[in-house]
Amino acid sequence: MTEGLTPCARVKCIAVLAFAALISICGPVSATPETSEGLAATEVLANTKQGGVIAATRYGPADASTKVLVIGQMHGDESAGRRVVRALANRLASGIQLPADTAIWLVSTMNPDGARAGTRVNAAGVDLNRNFPQGWRQQGRATETWSGPSAGSEAETAAMSKFLDRVKPTAVLAFHQPFAVVDITHPASRRAGRVLANWLELPARVVGCPGPCYGTLTGWVDDHLAAIALTVELPQRVSAARINRSATAVLRLTRWLAR
């Protein structure tokens, strides 16, 4: 893992890994610890209703001009994206080089309560991908696509919006399942979406929603941040090879955006 690194770089790696281990052992934390001379940091974005933690880890400088945010999971019953995030974290922590002035942010899950329960929705029964303010409407109560009582009502959505507003990423990649497609609904994201889909070995298509789209993360990112916003739908069953290919594709896209 640290082969070929200088002793100094090795110390940095150990510090990053030790912090990652601390987070996984200790669970909820409220501070924003720093590691590796500011080149990697984890912060807690929110603590959820049932004690889950939404955390974001940055690799690369905080003031990077190219920033890619990867969200491994929004729906609690779609976990493959978390494996992609884990593969990326392992590669980044073991010293893989990013271009200068570039950072990757990783969020394993923005729905820890849903993940624990194995449900699409959060603990309040809300579909987080219908709860963002962009085009929000109250719809689907008592179904798996309930948009919630008001726009951005859920702690998970509010924390993610606030975080995105602060970080202002160049691109947001949100992993879902099981449709095996990269959704290029947003015109400004199409070029990047086609490039990414090619590396993922998935088709790129305008997928949209059954009926009009409302309250989605990518809709809000596209409209509010004018950033690249892509939904990556992995298949239902995801092999280890596909996880590795997906992590490679994200790194290639990051380099492509930084060029």
Whole-number minimum distance, CB 75 to Zn ion, in Å? Answer: 4
- For the beta carbon of residue 6, count every other beta carbon within 10 angstroms: 10
Determine contact, residues 75/176, Cβ cutoff 8 Å: yes
Kindly indicate which of the ranges 7-15, 77-85, 164-172, 199-207 contains the residues binding Zn ion, using the contact rule CB under 5 A: 77-85
Kindly indicate which of the ranges 2-10, 73-81, 164-172, 198-206 contains the residues binding Zn ion, using the contact rule CB under 5 A: 73-81
Cα-based distances in Å from 141 to 76, 131, 137, 234: 18, 12, 11, 27
Whole-number minimum distance, CB 169 to Zn ion, in Å? Answer: 20
Short-list 121, 110, 245, CA closest to 164: 110
Beta carbon nearer to Zn ion, 81 or 152? 81
Q: Degrees (nearest 5) of the Cα angle 24, 200, 122? A: 45
Determine contact, residues 253/70, Cβ cutoff 8 Å: no
Mark 171-190 with x for binding to Zn ion (rule: CB under 5 A) and - for no binding: -----x--------------
Count the helices and strands in the chain (H runs, E runs).
Answer: 7, 9
Whole-number minimum distance, CB 243 to Zn ion, in Å? Answer: 17
Short-list 4, 56, 200, CA closest to 13: 4
Whole-number minimum distance, CB 78 to Zn ion, in Å? Answer: 5
In this structure, which long-range contacts are made by residues 12-17, counting pairs with CB atoms below 8 Å and at least 24 apart in sequence? 12/36, 12/37, 12/39, 13/93, 13/94, 13/95, 16/40, 16/93, 17/93
Q: How many residues bind Zn ion (CB under 5 A)?
A: 3
One-letter identity of residue 150: S
Asked if residue 82 binds Zn ion (CB under 5 A), the reply is no
Mark 191-230 with x for binding to Zn ion (rule: CB under 5 A) and - for no binding: ----------------------------------------
Whole-number minimum distance, CB 179 to Zn ion, in Å? Answer: 9
Closest CB to Zn ion: residue number: 176
Instruction: List the one residue from 12, 58, 67, 75 that touches Zn ion (CB under 5 A).
Output: 75
Whole-number minimum distance, CB 233 to Zn ion, in Å? Answer: 8
- For the beta carbon of residue 248, count every other beta carbon within 10 angstroms: 15
Whole-number minimum distance, CB 225 to Zn ion, in Å? Answer: 20
Beta carbon nearer to Zn ion, 67 or 176? 176
Beta carbon nearer to Zn ion, 4 or 210? 210
- Residues engaged in binding Zn ion (CB under 5 A): 75, 78, 176
